[in-house]
Amino acid sequence: MAQNGISIVEVGQHKSDDDSWMVINGTVWDITGFAPRHPGGADIIREYFGRDASEIYNELHGPALVANHLGEGKRIGVLCKSSADESSSTRSSTNVATQSVEKPPLQSIVNLYDFEAVARETLSARAWAYFSGATNDCFTAAMNIDWYARILFRPRVLTGLKEVDSSTTILEHKYSLPIFNAPASMAKLAHPDGELALARATAGAGTTIIAPTMASFSIEEIVDALPPHHPFFFQLYVNKDRSVTEELLESVCKLKPRAIMVTVDLPVLSKRESNERYEIGVAQKTASKGATGVKGKAQARSASNAIEPNVQWKDIRWIKEATGVPIFIKGIQCAMDARLAYENGCAGIYLSNHGGRAVDTAPPSLLTLLEIQANCPEILEKMEVFIDGGIRRGTDVLKAICLGASAVCLGRPFFYALGYGQEGVEHALGILKDELETAMLLVGITSLDQAHPGLLITADVDRYIYQGEGHPFAKHISRSRL
């Protein structure tokens, strides 16, 4: 090994599962054994065995994340200058083009749909495919939005309106708004500051971040972006390797989260065709390196390789006992599972179909909330209830609160706003706050604790609400085989 650094030729000699090196931003790392533990899947790591992965790494991750995952003991050395120059030149020549359309002034954005229109024109092809896509035909993703319009307001008048207060209290902490981010990975695709900008913006608006397992930055960096002692939530994917989950929970609990939200609606990654088309296109462009369309399709789903598909209620009880932190179940899609969450000691439920990224034609989250009202409304008084999916207006927020939600979460809209950085998310939250408070006054209330189902007309969707666990008339068929 040369004293002035390691050559890229030497790095290239270490490209097997039992002996693998990788270059990230001029530093050579020993990543032997890391591929199966990579939160984003093993395939992308194996693709860069013995190579410089700086470009793809920097697109998705903060600079300190690699050391956080691998540990300083895996740092081998630095790339020699000649190899570094050569690697930089290669990366520049193969860089996937991003759109360079100039964004309109932030103050010209008057609603969340405006952010989406800007994002469509300015995000990279990869970012747009990831953020905008959903499962199969995207029916559930569309219903999430459409069903809010199918529920009507029933305003009251002459109720004595003065100052309006849109604050709420969750797990004994007061927030200025009942609005949080839906925890999703790869925020850095929208802006270099990723979750750091989300954390600063939400905290500045008097709410907070739900930090995701697959964040672009470490949980420590995200919490450091918040004001001292500011509350936060953490979203957990249970890893196939129990020791990885244990280590992660230990690190998170040292930072004292208000709750841990365990995602359970994605035992396998669904077929997201926009992602697959993008990855196949990239694979075809780099076919000279041995990539194929099949490989590109596999890469689009590789993130699920590290997620444990066999999570059961006993695992939820283990997480609760191991951490001593309030537990939410994220991905509730029927009333019976909501009841089970309560019976298993959870502090809250998070109604979600993964923004239409779980099974397509699953019910919109708003229908799940109505099903809980019809079957086990008592648990709404005993647990916190978060809901995401389709929320684009302050009126949507108010409808969810009227039906018993504690708070709402937004995914895509905040990622679109993140294209403007922290200021974009702050502006989006300001828009929602104004729309929410205006809607409150127009329906005749001045605080969220006055919101109730009587302010809504749900007749257009009531026929879709199941009562009981089974189908109202269809029976399970078990055919005898002679």
What tokens were used for 329?
Answer: 């179940």
Report which of 207, 196, 261, 266 is spatially closest to residue 231, judged by C-alpha positions.
207
Catalytically active residues, by annotation: 354
Give exposure, 296-326, as e/b (b: 16+ Cβ within 10 Å): bbbbbbbbebbbbeebebebbeebbeebebb
Joined together, the tokens standing for residue 251 give 């690190």
3-state secondary structure of 204: helix
List of residues 6+ apart from 372 with CB closer than 8 A: 335, 338, 351, 379, 380, 385, 404
What would the DSSP string read from start to end of 123-135? S-HHHHHHHH--S
* β-pair partners for 19: 16
Tokens matching residue 124: 């990279």
The Cα 28–Cα 77 span in angstroms is 5
Q: Is 186 left (phi over 0), alpha (psi -120 to 50) or beta?
A: left
Q: At CA 350, angle to CA 344 and CA 355, rounded to 5?
A: 140
The upper half-sphere exposure of residue 69, i.e. CA atoms within 13 Å in the direction of its Cβ, equals 24
Q: Which residues pair with 408 in a beta bridge?
A: 179, 387
Any alpha helices (H) in 95-224, and if so which ranges?
112-122, 125-132, 139-150, 194-204, 219-224
User: In whole angstroms, how large is the CA radius of gyration of the chain?
Assistant: 24
Task: List helix spans (H) across 15-158.
Answer: 42-47, 54-60, 65-70, 81-94, 112-122, 125-132, 139-150
For residues 31 and 5, give the distance between their C-alpha atoms in angstroms, rounded to a whole number. 18
**Do the beta carbons of residue 352 and residue 331 sit within 8 Å?**
yes
In Å, how far are 12, 354, 416 from 130, measured between CA atoms?
Answer: 31, 13, 12
